[in-house]
Chains A and B, each alone.
Chain A
């Protein structure tokens, strides 16, 4: 009671000062307890447990309810969440985590190292996408006491690689609710139980998901919000209208149309920015199928890259939300970005035509050289616009492009399972460390049917060796140098071209405070988020 009265007094003081000194109000505001935060939720999920499915669609709900061992702070540095400290043995084969004391699950049971052991061995290693690659050489997790978890690896695991991966791939689930029965079919997957600041309340299919404040949260005085509501809105224009009508506060991960984001950016009621999404960088791709004899010729791939005016496309179609990309590791990756002095392909139509002539594909009747089937992924307007732009650009050098549109399932099946494409375009999402998200696009020997892996029919012993060496290199400086070699080789051989770099765009109501303050804010816990009156 006392606290509420004090909070009320402080709030009224804040309001008074904001009237007197409006320009100072932001800095002087005191966080307000209470309020309901409404989030735009574009696609429904089959599960909400981030220990089982690594995707932003899951984190945006599950990341408020469950917590990872570590997360990233405002400067992008690793900070402990369920783990307080960590250390690696010199050979990189043993990594020890000290866990936080006094943390309980939402059902009241204590959080211990047994939960970490169970989750790592049964979920991360066996089920979690990307996790199964990351933890491939994990042999055991020892639990000498309830607050210590010792990860044992068969091959050296670079500590920095693990720490960069764990914010996304290190969510912990309660062992006592999962140890019996089939993990995939457990009803807890859709009614998650965690240690986070919000407790799951309800999932009404097609309508909303609700989570309420966890009164026993381990961070003192957190969270501020009473409730978070995720509203399922599939239509982008409808979501923009609901933001304007005040029914929604936040649309994450570029959930609106490009034109609506640009329009709302001029409205003082909203903040439209890429801030808080630096950890969710993505590049637009152009993937070449090496089974086509024309595309197996490096001169043709280079000609295609030279024929497309990327700066023109970015300026006229993507606006402020994108920039010129320089390869598979985006510039936001402070740990690994090699700079722009790797092989690049500037717009040069004459050079493109010359390369095609040299490769023996001379213009025939009507100026046509050969034709290609282009499969654009159905995610995002930018991919669709980019596909049309490729089609028009290539027609100018005599390459006919037929665009074949599919929905999500159809696209993955045709490209990654049936290999029924000549060129394909979609997104590559970078996950803080190339070993987690990127090298599988280039490493040969990927099993057929695995989406977002090397299904181009490209094999290169040099790049395979670089990838394997970098994955187990414990010295951070040597690792960075290896990834520089990786980008140089990848850009030079061009099995995939990644010419555009984008960061997801956030649209949020200006009343929200403490938002976008970490590089993966949309996925984080929101324990300090609050709403001004």
Chain B
């Protein structure tokens, strides 16, 4: 119950932040020259001024900025995200269509990065300054330094163009209709390269953090005590060190959920995935304010949700946290 109370307080505290972010983005976008009707004209390849005027009235763009913002917030209070001018559908529907791809990609990349980061970090820490550590640390540095769009394109060139093992893009193969398990396998195949591309940079971070925190915990007194008791090295690492070393890793998940959403813009573009990242980019280009604000709202909710779980996990790993809260 205490954990839930803690989490509830956290949630309540994030609401004002959310509203401030939405207002900030709304105002920031007003500074960009042009509105959605200009973007529409660019797409149409021309049009007359009377049409433009009529479209502005239709989308409510002829109102003052404060009136537009007021309208938006008032709709938000009633859980209405508004209407998307690029897609001609309610924003909530547009986002709901894009959310699964992003959540799939994020979950896959985070799990991949976390799991392999943890293992490689432990291996590196156990063999510190020996060859496994050197290899792993150098690899980590390379992954960290490689821009993800470049890595993505190279992965496509190698695995799709030359070896023809994996598809070069898209979420699933649409030329053949598939159902059930075959569709799942097909989607999984399409997700391998994007997951690697998005996950590697995070893997590098997790690996370094895990290595550092393992090294730190390995030098603490209770580890020496455990060893002195005659425990074998494996149980020392698993039972005593790992649990304590995991705390900074878990913190990082919460922090990186947001970063990952940002990184997904690039990966979704390179692999033509229908996710939120690309939708956000597109809405900026098309000046589709409603959709952009909707995405920010939903991403903020996502980040809050991830942090909520991190908080709970924290309390499980270190009971002191929930009692202090």
Q: Does A411 contact B (CB under 8 A)?
A: yes
Q: Could you tell me which residues of chain A, from 392 to 447, have a CB within 8 Å of some CB in chain B?
A: 406-414, 417-418, 429, 447
Neighbouring B residues of A237 by C-beta, 8 Å: 153, 270
A450/B52 in contact, CB under 8 A: yes
Q: Does A229 contact B (CB under 8 A)?
A: yes
Bound form: Cα–Cα A237–B87 in Å: 25
A409/B42 in contact, CB under 8 A: yes
B43/A238 in contact, CB under 8 A: no
Q: Produce 1/0 per residue, B260-286, CB < 8 A to A.
A: 000000000111111100110010111
Q: Does B307 contact A (CB under 8 A)?
A: no
A449/B49 in contact, CB under 8 A: yes
Closest-CB distance, A36 to chain B (whole angstroms): 4
Q: Does B38 contact A (CB under 8 A)?
A: yes
A129/B170 in contact, CB under 8 A: no
Q: Does A28 contact B (CB under 8 A)?
A: no
Closest Cβ neighbor of A226 among chain B residues: B175
Bound form: Cα–Cα A133–B46 in Å: 11
Q: Which of B33, B49, B164 contacts A410 (CB 8 A)?
A: B33
Q: Produce 1/0 per residue, B41-68, CB < 8 A to A.
A: 1111111111111000010000000000
Known contacts A206-B279, A227-B175, A229-B175; decide if A46 and B85 are in contact (CB<8 Å): yes
Name which of A53-61, A87-95, A148-156, A480-488 contacts chain B.
A53-61
Q: Produce 1/0 per residue, B160-195, CB < 8 A to A.
A: 110010011111001100000000000000000000
Q: Which of B40, B169, B284 contacts A233 (CB 8 A)?
A: B169
Known contacts A204-B274, A237-B153, A408-B43; decide if A418 and B175 are in contact (CB<8 Å): no
Closest Cβ neighbor of A244 among chain B residues: B161
B34/A234 in contact, CB under 8 A: no
B50/A447 in contact, CB under 8 A: yes
Q: Does A210 contact B (CB under 8 A)?
A: yes
Closest-CB distance, B4 to chain A (whole angstroms): 37
Q: Which of A43, A229, A242, A244 contacts B43 (CB 8 A)?
A: A43
Q: Does B98 contact A (CB under 8 A)?
A: yes
Closest Cβ neighbor of A182 among chain B residues: B58
Bound form: Cα–Cα A234–B266 in Å: 11
A46/B88 in contact, CB under 8 A: yes
Known contacts A408-B39, A410-B38, A451-B46; decide if A245 and B33 are in contact (CB<8 Å): no
A245/B161 in contact, CB under 8 A: yes
B38/A129 in contact, CB under 8 A: no
B278/A234 in contact, CB under 8 A: yes
Neighbouring B residues of A448 by C-beta, 8 Å: 49
Neighbouring B residues of A412 by C-beta, 8 Å: 34, 38, 41-42
Bound form: Cα–Cα A242–B167 in Å: 8
Neighbouring A residues of B274 by C-beta, 8 Å: 204-207, 232
B168/A189 in contact, CB under 8 A: no
B33/A450 in contact, CB under 8 A: no
Closest Cβ neighbor of B38 among chain A residues: A409
Known contacts A409-B36, A451-B41; decide if A207 and B286 are in contact (CB<8 Å): no
Q: How many chain-A residues does the 8 Å CB contact rule pick out?
A: 61
Closest-CB distance, B55 to chain A (whole angstroms): 8
A408/B88 in contact, CB under 8 A: no
A55/B175 in contact, CB under 8 A: no
Neighbouring A residues of B44 by C-beta, 8 Å: 53-55, 129
Q: Does B94 contact A (CB under 8 A)?
A: yes
Considering residues A38, A56, A207, A406, which has the most beta carbons from chain B within 10 angstroms of its beta carbon?
A: A207
Q: Does A221 contact B (CB under 8 A)?
A: no
Q: Does A241 contact B (CB under 8 A)?
A: yes
Q: Does B287 contact A (CB under 8 A)?
A: yes
Q: Produce 1/0 per residue, A195-237, CB < 8 A to B.
A: 0000000001111101000000000000000010101111101
Bound form: Cα–Cα A414–B274 in Å: 31
A409/B279 in contact, CB under 8 A: no
Considering residues B45, B164, B175, which has the most beta carbons from chain A within 10 angstroms of its beta carbon?
A: B45
Q: Which of B39, B48, B88 contacts A409 (CB 8 A)?
A: B39
Considering residues A232, A238, A409, which has the most beta carbons from chain B within 10 angstroms of its beta carbon?
A: A409
Neighbouring A residues of B87 by C-beta, 8 Å: 46, 205
Q: Produce 1/0 per residue, A171-187, CB < 8 A to B.
A: 00000000000001100
Neighbouring B residues of A453 by C-beta, 8 Å: 46
Closest-CB distance, A268 to chain B (whole angstroms): 15
Q: Could you tell me which residues of chain B, from 3 to 49, have a CB within 8 Å of some CB in chain A?
A: 32-36, 38-49
B169/A247 in contact, CB under 8 A: yes
Bound form: Cα–Cα A95–B125 in Å: 85
A235/B272 in contact, CB under 8 A: yes
Q: Does B216 contact A (CB under 8 A)?
A: no
Q: Does B97 contact A (CB under 8 A)?
A: yes
B43/A129 in contact, CB under 8 A: no
A409/B285 in contact, CB under 8 A: yes
Known contacts A245-B160, A410-B34, A449-B49; decide if A235 and B270 are in contact (CB<8 Å): yes
Known contacts A44-B282, A406-B33, A409-B285; decide if A238 and B48 are in contact (CB<8 Å): no
Q: Which of B42, B85, B171 contacts A408 (CB 8 A)?
A: B42
Q: Does A45 contact B (CB under 8 A)?
A: yes
A413/B168 in contact, CB under 8 A: no
Bound form: Cα–Cα A190–B94 in Å: 14
Bound form: Cα–Cα A412–B46 in Å: 10
Q: Does A132 contact B (CB under 8 A)?
A: yes
Neighbouring B residues of A410 by C-beta, 8 Å: 32-34, 38
A54/B45 in contact, CB under 8 A: yes
A242/B33 in contact, CB under 8 A: no
Neighbouring A residues of B153 by C-beta, 8 Å: 237-238, 241
Bound form: Cα–Cα A411–B42 in Å: 9
B43/A55 in contact, CB under 8 A: yes
Closest Cβ neighbor of B37 among chain A residues: A409
Neighbouring B residues of A512 by C-beta, 8 Å: none
Closest Cβ neighbor of A189 among chain B residues: B88
Q: Does B157 contact A (CB under 8 A)?
A: yes
Q: Does B86 contact A (CB under 8 A)?
A: yes
Q: Does A127 contact B (CB under 8 A)?
A: yes
Bound form: Cα–Cα A184–B174 in Å: 30
Q: Does B156 contact A (CB under 8 A)?
A: yes
Neighbouring A residues of B285 by C-beta, 8 Å: 407-409
Bound form: Cα–Cα A452–B87 in Å: 25
Bound form: Cα–Cα A247–B172 in Å: 11
Could you give 5 example pairs across A and B, Cβ below 8 Å? A207-B274, A238-B272, A241-B169, A410-B34, A412-B34
Besides A47-B88, A247-B169, A407-B34, 18 other A-B contacts (C-beta < 8 A): A46-B43, A56-B45, A129-B44, A206-B273, A207-B174, A227-B175, A238-B156, A238-B272, A245-B161, A246-B164, A406-B33, A407-B284, A409-B36, A410-B32, A411-B34, A450-B48, A451-B47, A452-B45
In the A-B complex, the 6 residue pairs with the smallest Cβ-Cβ separation, listed nearest first, are: A206-B274, A409-B34, A408-B42, A413-B34, A409-B39, A447-B49
Q: Which B residues contact A (CB, under 8 angstroms)? A: 32-36, 38-53, 58, 85-88, 94, 97-98, 101, 153, 156-157, 160-161, 164, 167-171, 174-175, 269-275, 278-279, 282, 284-287
